[in-house]
A and B are shown apart, each in its own frame.
Chain A
Amino acid sequence: MIFSGLSKETIFASATAKGKSAVAIIRISGAKTATVLIDLIGSVPQERVLSLRRLKHPQSGEFLDQAMVVFFPNGQSYTGEEAAELHIHGGRATLNAVANCLLEEGLRMAEPGEFTLRALQNGKMDLAQVEGLGDLIAAETEAQRKQAHLAHDGTVTKASSGWKKDLTHCLALLETEIEFSEENLPPNVKNQARNVILQLQETLKGEVGGVDIAERLREGFEVAIIGQPNSGKSTLLNYLAGREAAITSNYAGTTRDVLEVYMELEGLPVCFLDTAGIRDSSDPIEKIGIERTKTRARDADIRIFLLEEKGQFFPEIECREGDLELRAKADLIKETQSRGISGLTGQGVDLMLQDISRVLENRIAKVGVATNARHRQAISQSLEHLVKAYSELGRENCRDEIVAEDLRQAIRALETITGTIDIEQVLGEIFANFCIGK
Chain B
Amino acid sequence: MKHHYDVIVVGGGHAGCEAAAASARAGAETALITLKFDGIGQMSCNPAIGGLGKGHLVREIDAMDGVMGQVADMAGIQFRMLNRRKGPAVQGPRAQMDRALYRQAMQNTISQTANLATLEGEVVDINYANGKLEGVILADGTVLTAKAVVLTTGTFLRGVIRLGQKATPAGRVGDPSAIRLAERLDDLGFPLGRLKTGTPPRLDSRTINWEILEEQPGDDKPEMFSFLSSKPHARQISCAITHTNAGTHDIIRRDLDKSAIYGGYFESTGPRYCPSIEDKVVRFAERESHQIFLEPEGLTTDLVYPNGISTSLPEETQEEFVKSIRGLEQARITQFGYAIEYDYVDPKSLRYTLETRNLENLFLAGQINGTTGYEEAAGQGLVAGLNAARKALGKENVQFLRSESYIGVMIDDLITRGVTEPYRMFTSRAEFRLSLRADNADQRLTPKGIELGVVSAERKKRFGEKLQALEYYRDVLTKKSLSPTEAMDHGIVISKDGIRRTGLDLLTYPEVNLSKLAEFWPELKEIDQQTTILLENDSVYSRYLERQNQEAKSLNEDERCRIPDEIDYMSMKGLSGELRSKLDSIRPETLGQAGRIEGMTPSALAYILSTVNRKTSYSQARQ
Chain A: residues with CB nearer than 8 A to chain B? Answer: 1-8, 111-114, 116-117, 120-123, 125, 127, 130, 133-138, 140-141, 175, 178-179, 181-184, 397, 399-402, 404-405, 408, 420, 422-424, 426-428, 431, 435-438
Q: State A437–B558 Cα separation when bound (angstroms).
A: 36
Distance (whole angstroms) from the CB of B434 to the closest CB of chain A? 6
Residues in A with CB closer than 8 Å to B601 are: 2, 112-113, 141
Listed A/B pairs (9) with beta-carbon separation below 8 Å: A2-B602, A4-B551, A7-B554, A133-B574, A133-B607, A178-B428, A179-B53, A422-B598, A426-B428
Known: A120-B606, A120-B609, A184-B290. A4 touches B595 (CB 8 A): yes
Contacts of B310 in A (CB 8 A): 438
Q: Which of A183, A401, A422, A436 contacts B90 (CB 8 A)?
A: A401
Q: Is B544 part of the contact surface with A, judged by Cβ < 8 Å? A: yes
Residues on A with C-beta less than 8 A from B554 are 3-8
Residues of A with C-beta under 8 A to B46: 438
Q: How far is the CA of A304 from the CA of B433 in the complex (A)?
A: 55
- Kindly list chain B residues whose C-beta atoms are within 8 Å of the C-beta of A113: 601-607
Given contacts A4-B555, A401-B89, 16 further A-B contacts (CB under 8 A): A1-B431, A3-B558, A3-B605, A4-B551, A5-B550, A114-B602, A121-B618, A123-B618, A141-B603, A402-B541, A404-B428, A427-B273, A435-B280, A436-B273, A437-B272, A437-B273
Flag if A401 contacts B86 (CB, 8 Å): yes
B602 and A438 form a contact (CB under 8 A): no
Across the A-B interface, the 10 shortest Cβ-Cβ residue pairs = A134-B574, A113-B603, A5-B551, A117-B606, A431-B272, A4-B555, A435-B284, A438-B307, A113-B602, A111-B602
Task: Give CA–CA (A401, B537) in the complex, Å.
Answer: 13
A181 surroundings in chain B (CB, below 8 A): 82-83, 86
Distance in angstroms between the alpha carbons of A117 and B53 in the assembled complex: 35
- A179 and B427 in contact (CB under 8 A), knowing A1-B595, A400-B87, A435-B287? yes
- Is B269 part of the binding interface, using a Cβ–Cβ cutoff of 8 Å? no
The answer on a CB contact under 8 Å between A2 and B428 is: no
Residues of A within 8 A of B87 (CB): 399-402
Residues from 425 to 480 in B contacting A, C-beta threshold 8 Å: 426-429, 431, 433-434
| Bound: A422/B52 CA distance, A | 20
The range of chain B's interface size is 35 or more
B73: min CB distance to chain A, Å = 21
Alpha-carbon distance between A140 and B552 when the two chains are bound, in angstroms: 30
**Do A438 and B428 touch across chains, with their CB atoms under 8 A apart?**
no
Looking at the assembled complex, report how far the CB atom of B589 sits from the nearest CB atom of chain A, in whole angstroms.
16
- Whether the Cβ atoms of A137 and B273 lie closer than 8 Å is no
For residue B521, which residues in chain A have a CB less than 8 angstroms away from its CB? Answer: none
Closest to B274 in A: A437
User: How far is A341 from B552 in the complex, measured between Cα atoms in Å?
Assistant: 64
Are the C-beta atoms of A130 and B600 separated by less than 8 Å? no
How far does the alpha carbon of A183 sit from the alpha carbon of B601 in the complex, in Å?
39
Question: Which residues on A sit within 8 Å (CB–CB) of B429?
Answer: 423
**Which of B's residues lie within 8 Å of A, judged by CB?**
46, 52-53, 82-83, 86-87, 89-90, 271-275, 280, 283-284, 287, 289-291, 293, 307-308, 310, 417, 426-429, 431, 433-434, 510, 540-541, 544, 550-555, 557-558, 561, 572-576, 592, 595-596, 598, 600-607, 609-611, 613-614, 617-619
A137 touches B83 (CB 8 A): no
Residue pair A117, B602 in contact (C-beta under 8 Å): yes
From known contacts A4-B558, A113-B603, A397-B510, infer whether A435 and B275 are also in contact, taking CB-CB under 8 Å: yes
Are A125 and B598 closer than 8 Å at their CB atoms?
A: no
Q: Which residue of A is nearest B83, CB measured?
A: A181
Closest Cβ–Cβ distance, residue A194 to chain B (whole Å): 17
* Most B C-beta atoms less than 10 A away, residue of A141, A401, A431, A435: A401
Alpha-carbon distance between A328 and B155 when the two chains are bound, in angstroms: 90
What residue of chain A has the Cβ atom nearest to residue B305's Cβ? A438
The answer on a CB contact under 8 Å between A423 and B428 is yes
Alpha-carbon distance A375/B293, docked complex (angstroms): 49
Please indicate which of the listed interface residues B90, B540, B541 has the most CB atoms of chain A within 10 Å of its own CB. Answer: B90
Chain A residues positioned under 8 Å from B575 (CB to CB): 134, 137
| Chain A hits for B89, CB < 8 A | 401
- Once A120-B618, A138-B574 are accepted as A-B contacts, the answer to whether A3 and B426 lie under 8 Å apart by CB is no
* B596:A133 contact, CB within 8 angstroms: no
Q: Closest residue of chain A to B308, judged by CB?
A: A438
Residues on B with C-beta less than 8 A from A397 are 510
Do residues B600 and A179 form an inter-chain contact, with CB atoms below 8 A? Answer: no
Known: A178-B83, A400-B90, A401-B86. A4 touches B427 (CB 8 A): no
List chain B residues, Cβ under 8 A from A436: 272-273, 275
Q: Is the pair A178, B595 in contact by a Cβ cutoff of 8 Å?
A: no
Decide: A2 near B605, CB < 8 A? Known: A179-B428, A437-B275: yes
* B603 and chain A: residue at smallest CB distance: A113
Structural contact, B274 and A438, CB atoms closer than 8 A = yes
Q: How far is the CA of A136 from the CA of B592 in the complex (A)?
A: 23
Contact present for B90 and A130 (CB under 8 Å): no
Which of A8, A136, A422, A423 neighbours the largest number of chain B CB atoms within 10 Å of its CB? A423
Most buried by A among B310, B426, B433, B610: B610
Contact A133 B606 (CB under 8 A): yes
Chain B nearest Cβ from A394, distance in angstroms: 14
Report whether A401 and B550 are in contact in the complex, using a CB–CB cutoff of 8 Å: no
